[in-house]
Structure 1
Amino acid sequence: MPLPQLHVSRHDRTTGALLTLSGEIDLATVPRVYAALAACLRDGVHGIDVDLTAVTFCDVSGLHAFLTASWLGADAGTVLRLRHAPPAMARVIEMTGSGFLLDEEHAVRSVSPRVPTVVCRAVTAPTRGSRGR
């Protein structure tokens, strides 16, 4: 079975950088995404546009890379925007509360640009002999 392929290209512009990704983003290929985003942050790029037009698959590791770059760049005033996300990918991004990464033109719906708060509650099943204490 062939390994997934991902091609990453960077085009610097006066207003920032455009990263064009094509192929699959998963555990095997996400290091390339991290490297490209880290290079932009290291170079002081203030606007990173990521063109996802040719991305055929993106798992949670790809979303994590985009969120990490967004959070790391926020202190330096860097804005990361995902452009032309395939509809299924855009929907997952929205469902996870990460819609602030999408450019307004391609967002499924508007989402406030804040990190979602997740509250977890431990639930224990009653054991035999316990009375729901």
Structure 2
Amino acid sequence: MVTMDWSETPAGPEGYPTPRQTLHPYGIRWWTESEQDDADPEFHTHTRLYADRRRWNRGCLDWLLRAVADEALVEVFVADTELRRIHHPYDGGADVILATPAERDHVRDRYTDWLSSHPAGL
């Protein structure tokens, strides 16, 4: 599981109030992505990703999905340990990235009711 926060400085504090630390207390800082392309330092941002590993059990992430659906927490993803399968929920839906086209097609065919009505499936 991966959650994130951001700030205007590399070390923090959080730039946008979020319950991330409360909802994901065991997340260890995994990566910091700094955006410093703008010449004005006021527009520099530092996004920090926090990760932890946990055994999958039915319902084990219901609380996290509820926080995402309620927009209390954004920029969350759940992945396998090799990052080959990623589930990125957001309010109103989710993106799913799978390891192979065959796996993608299988999931698409199994969960057709979950797909968007947009002609491209987006």
Same fold per superposition (TM over 0.5): no
Higher Rg of the two aligned structures: 1
* TM-score (norm: length of structure 1): 0.29
Structure with higher RCO (Cα < 8 A, 6+ apart): 2
